[in-house]
């Protein structure tokens, strides 16, 4: 009978006494010690809950890294570079969306057995999630109060609050390349959430309707518009999966952080980052 094994290649490194290993490069000793259930007695499913949220935070860290870089590319008028980063963000979003299916295996009864140990800790307090909203344009200065006791997180959000969003920089990029963006948009108060601006819709109508002309020079701009729509669609799908997972697990209980729970998450679905890129769809082909 043939053994169900394979030989180790002769050149495989096995002595790491003086070499960097996979574990040391990734700091696995520290990383794998960071899952610390607090339920007493320790509940089997709390580890799932912790890992779900920790891995989400890691993906969000990467998403922010890419979003900041995409914004800088737009500042530098490198639209291709920005599109490359946004493409990666979309894949990160897909990973985040799929994670909800793992947490959804946590039944209401199982969660109830350790939920009380969470006290007031809540995903509502994720500064990285708020940072993503801010850099995409959904600014809310009042959210900074949640992070008064965390100076580092507060500083990150305060900085993003006062900086132009990804969408702001996209519109500025368009303006520098001869597209007539209204001055009111270019000069707006960037500490406020972007709101629907009717004057922008005809601008995008022209971009969309001219994208397929034989000599179309704005194809990349048209492509960028669609990439941003993909990004928002993914974000909304993430919000929806969050809502459905919470409803499946705790019903209509209040959130541990004091929010209205499902109702609060439901209202978030009405928030939008790039409203004109959706409004343009109604206008295309009307003339």
Q: Which residues are annotated as a binding site?
A: 49-53, 111, 115, 242, 256
Other beta carbons within 10 Å of 18 = 5
Which residues carry a binding-site annotation for substrate?
49-53, 111, 115, 256
Tokens 């132009």, residue? 164
Which phi and psi angles does 122 have, rounded to 5°? -155, 150
CA distance to 167, 173, 269, per residue, from 279 (Å):
15, 21, 16
Residue 72's region, left for phi above 0, alpha for psi from -120 to 50, else beta, is: alpha
Annotated binding site for heme: 242
10 Å Cβ neighbour count for 45?
18
- The length of the chain in residues reads 287
Q: Are the C-beta atoms of residues 199 and 185 closer than 8 Å to each other? A: yes
CA atoms of 245 and 53, how far apart (whole Å): 13
d(CA 104, CA 102): 5
Phi and psi, residue 23, nearest 5°? -65, -40
d(CA 128, CA 58): 10
Q: How many other β-carbons are positioned within 10 Å of the β-carbon of residue 145? A: 8
Q: Which burial class, exposed, middle or buried, applies to 251 when counting CB atoms under 10 A from its CB (0-12, 13-18, 19+)?
A: exposed
Q: What is the 3-state secondary structure (H, E, C) of 6-41?
A: CCCCCCCCCCCCCCCCHHHHCCHHHHCCCCCCCCCC
């Amino acid at each position: 009978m043939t053994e169900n094994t394979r030989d180790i290649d002769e050149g495989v490194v096995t002595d790491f006494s003086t070499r960097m290993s996979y574990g040391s490069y990734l700091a696995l000793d520290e990383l794998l010690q960071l899952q610390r259930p607090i339920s007493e007695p320790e509940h089997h499913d709390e580890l799932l809950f912790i890992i779900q949220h920790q891995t989400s935070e890691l993906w969000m860290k990467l998403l922010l890294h890419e979003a900041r870089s995409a914004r800088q590319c737009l500042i530098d008028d490198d639209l291709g570079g920005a599109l490359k980063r946004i493409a990666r963000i979309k894949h990160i979003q897909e990973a985040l969306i799929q994670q909800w299916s793992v947490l959804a295996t946590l039944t209401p009864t199982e969660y109830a057995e350790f939920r009380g140990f969470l006290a007031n800790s809540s995903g509502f307090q994720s500064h990285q999630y708020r940072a993503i909203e801010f850099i995409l344009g959904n600014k809310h200065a009042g959210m900074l109060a949640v992070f008064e006791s965390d100076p580092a997180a507060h500083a990150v959000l305060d900085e993003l609050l006062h900086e132009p969003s990804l969408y702001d920089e996209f519109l500025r990029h368009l303006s520098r390349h001869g597209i007539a963006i209204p001055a009111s948009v270019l000069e707006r108060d960037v500490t406020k959430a972007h709101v629907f601006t009717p004057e922008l819709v005809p601008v995008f109508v022209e971009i969309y309707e001219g994208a397929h002309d034989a000599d179309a020079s704005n194809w990349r701009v048209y492509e960028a518009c669609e990439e941003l729509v993909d990004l928002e669609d993914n974000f909304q799908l993430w919000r929806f999966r969050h809502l459905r997972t919470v409803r499946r697990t705790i019903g209509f209980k209040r959130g541990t952080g004091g929010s209205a729970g499902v109702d609060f998450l439901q209202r978030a679905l009405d928030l939008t980052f790039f409203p004109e890129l959706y409004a343009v769809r109604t206008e295309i082909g009307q003339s």
